[in-house]
Structure 1
C-alpha cells in the first residue's frame, strides 16, 4: 500500500545571536595635557592614524569632548583605562570616559 502522506522536513529555526551593546570611548578636554601627548595616546592605544588623532584632539579641545571610538563595553573600558593610566604615568590629568551608545 502506498502512503499518500506528504512528509516535508521542518524548517530549522536558527537562533539569532544578539549583538552586544556598544559603548563609546570619549576624550574629555583639559587645559593641562599637551596636545602632542594626546595625539600620542590616541595613536598608541586606539591605533588611530596621526591626522585623525589630531582631528579628534582638536574637536575635544574646541567642543569639550569627542567620541574616539566605539567598542563592546569590556574593550571600551579597558582602552579608556589604559589611556588614562598612560597619562597618569606621565603626570597628566587626561581623561577618557565610556558611555553606552544610543
Structure 2
C-alpha cells in the first residue's frame, strides 16, 4: 500500500504564517496626549485604559506598541495615523517593524 506524503512548499508556509509587524506610535513634543488616546481607541480599537497605558509608554519611553498585524494591515494603520494626525494639525507618526 502506497503512503501519501505531503510536502509543504515555502509558498504554503508563507500563506500559513504571514510575517507579522509591530506598529508603534512615536513621541513628539506637540501631539496632545488626548489625541494619542483618541487615535489608539479609534484606529487600534483599544479601550480607554489600554489607550492610556500605551499613551504613557509613548510619552515616557519614546514609543509605544499599538499592535501586531500582517504587513498590509500594519501599513494601512501607519498611513491612517499619519492622515488623521495631519488633519488635526499634529506631527504624530507611526512606524512598523517586523515582529
| TM-score, scaled relative to structure 2 | 0.88
Q: Residue 3 of structure 1 corresponds to which residue in structure 2?
A: none
Q: Give the Cα–Cα distance (whole angstroms) in 1 for the partners of residues 67 and 49 of structure 2.
A: 15
Q: Give the Cα–Cα distance (whole angstroms) in 2 for the partners of residues 50 and 89 of structure 1.
A: 22
Q: Highest CA radius of gyration, 1 or 2?
A: 1
Q: Residue 86 of structure 2 corresponds to which residue in structure 1?
A: 88
Q: Structure 1: which 4+ aligned runs deviate by more than 4 Å?
A: none
Q: Residue 17 of structure 1 corresponds to which residue in structure 2?
A: 13
Gaps of 5+ in 2: none
Matches within 5 A, 1:51-90: 51-90=49-88
The 3-state SS of whatever aligns with 1:17 is: helix
Q: Give the Cα–Cα distance (whole angstroms) in 1 for the partners of residues 93 and 3 of structure 2.
A: 55
Q: Give the Cα–Cα distance (whole angstroms) in 1 for the partners of residues 49 and 31 of structure 2.
A: 19
Shift of 1:14: 5.4
Shift of 1:98: 0.7
Shift of 1:94: 0.6
The 3-state SS of whatever aligns with 2:36 is: helix
| TM-score, scaled relative to structure 1 | 0.85
Q: Residue 4 of structure 1 corresponds to which residue in structure 2?
A: none
